[in-house]
Amino acid sequence: MNVFNTDQSAEALISRANKVLPAGSFGNMPGDIVLERGKAGRVWDIKGTEYVDYLLGSGPMFVGHAHPDVTKAITEQAPQGTTFFANNQHGIKLAEEICEAMACADQLRFVSSGSEATLYAMRLARAYRKRDKILKFEGGYHGMSDYSLMSLAPTRLANYPQALPDSAGIPKQVSNEVIIAPFNDIETVKSLITEYQDELGGVIVEPFQRLIPPAPGFLEMLREITLKYEIPLIFDEIVTGFRFSYGGAQDYYGVTPDLCTLGKIIGGGFPVAAVCGNKEIMKHFDKALVGEENFLPQIGTLSGNPLASVAGLATLNILKPASSYQKVFETGRQLMEGLRAALQDNGHVAQITGEPALFDVFFSDRKIKNYRDVLQSDAGKSRSFNQLLRKQKIFKSDSKFYVSLAHTQDDIDLTISAMNHAAKALKEV
């Protein structure tokens, strides 16, 4: 029996959270809603309210909540052991599956989070090239490390390539080691890489930056110029890996980096991520091959643990048929078109940005090509629209619709109806 399943106890639990959690939350979503369970494309809060879920745990639940194949794999493994701090067959199998799927991956190392994966990928690139600086893109999200939290979401804009910290507690010197460039600006990026070629340890990019697709030729240019100057190119595929294609964004867009980071989907809802790359760079994790001076130590208590590995393997097995991606993209196309029609019919000027598996709306009259275009959109209107969707029992973050394999036609129809109600109500806000 659910002891929290009343409005009064829900309020009490939220009050308890406020006492022990800063801001009353885990640091992700606001603490005004407490979820109890999920099944397929729906979630329920502790009051028993049912939502169509487009948060999906911030993306990992791509095959839906509590998929029977994933649940079976977990329940069979758990009595056999949950972690060993040593190699296990399931982690090895997951590594083999990922390396077969990802074009850039000869080898990989497991970690437990996307932040760890991008941190190690940048460190690995610097170790390989023996240079300190990293070029990243304004508005690009690469986790919570010091380097990553440079010009992620600056409220004041600086001239490129100046990096601005997005958090307290970051040493001032870090700003000097990060070069900031505008996403999708081919000529500016070429100029910056050419200028700093001798100082760059690597270039890191989300091939699909948050919600912004790459402009035609942009990723191809990045690949060409980094090859020209022998600078490692890192694709952060924590979000896009196994979401846009079984081979990730590098397959979907047809551009192969030197390194990539993976997370979210590969753990099937459990904490696992990975740094993948070609053998020449990955050998820096092997002291016997590179010696003490060039060795990059990497240790993680839960890295490659069998419970996360079996969940990941079960998830990837579900996704392997091409029909899985056909279904997700058809669902996304219906939702995008429904959203576009709802907004247009109610007189809202807006841009639907993204790909069918991952998209959202920006209230703006200009095409969204980079972070500065995002800043020009009406963020207040977006928040109001999301709040209205929540009232219509649509659960999502303030920034995106994650689409899952588990979303049904009934989910789509309910969502499009909610979009129409929210778009109509938004005219009165």
Catalytic, 413? Answer no
What value does the mean pLDDT of the chain take? 96
Catalytic, 283? Answer no
Chain centroid to Cα 389, Å, comes to 22
Measure the CA–CA gap between 423 and 371, rounded to whole angstroms. 25
Candidate list 264, 283, 369, 400, residue with the active-site label: 264
Model confidence band, residue 77 (pLDDT cutoffs 50, 70, 90): very high
In DSSP notation, 324-363 reads HHHHHHHHHHHHHHHHHHHHHHTT---EEEEETTEEEEE-
Q: Report, as an integer, the average pLDDT of 42-59.
A: 97
Query: What pLDDT score was predicted for residue 11?
Result: 87
- Tell me the two tokens of residue 127: 């170790």
- Does residue 282 have a pLDDT over 90? yes
Q: Report, as an integer, the average pLDDT of 60-81.
A: 98
Inter-residue contact 19 to 7 (CB < 8 Å):
no
Query: What pLDDT score was predicted for residue 52?
Result: 98
- Per residue in 91-118, pLDDT tens? 999 999 999 999 999 999 999 999 999 9
- Does residue 3 have a pLDDT over 80? no
Measure the CA–CA gap between 131 and 128, rounded to whole angstroms. 8
Inter-residue contact 5 to 48 (CB < 8 Å):
yes
- Per residue in 333-392, pLDDT tens? 999 999 999 999 999 999 999 999 999 999 999 999 999 999 999 999 999 999 999 999
Candidate list 128, 141, 147, 252, residue with the active-site label: 141
Beta-bridge partners for 50:
44
Q: For the chain, which domains are there?
A: 33-66+321-426 (3.90.1150.10), 68-319 (3.40.640.10)
Q: Report, as an integer, the average pLDDT of 43-70.
A: 97
- Does residue 7 have a pLDDT over 60? no
- Does residue 428 have a pLDDT over 90? no
Candidate list 185, 236, 258, 411, residue with the active-site label: 236
Model confidence band, residue 8 (pLDDT cutoffs 50, 70, 90): low
Measure the CA–CA gap between 268 and 66, rounded to whole angstroms. 10
Q: Which residue would you say has higher pLDDT here, 172 or 27? A: 172
Share of the chain above pLDDT 90, in %: 93
Share of the chain above pLDDT 70, in %: 98
- Per residue in 202-216, pLDDT tens? 999 999 999 999 999
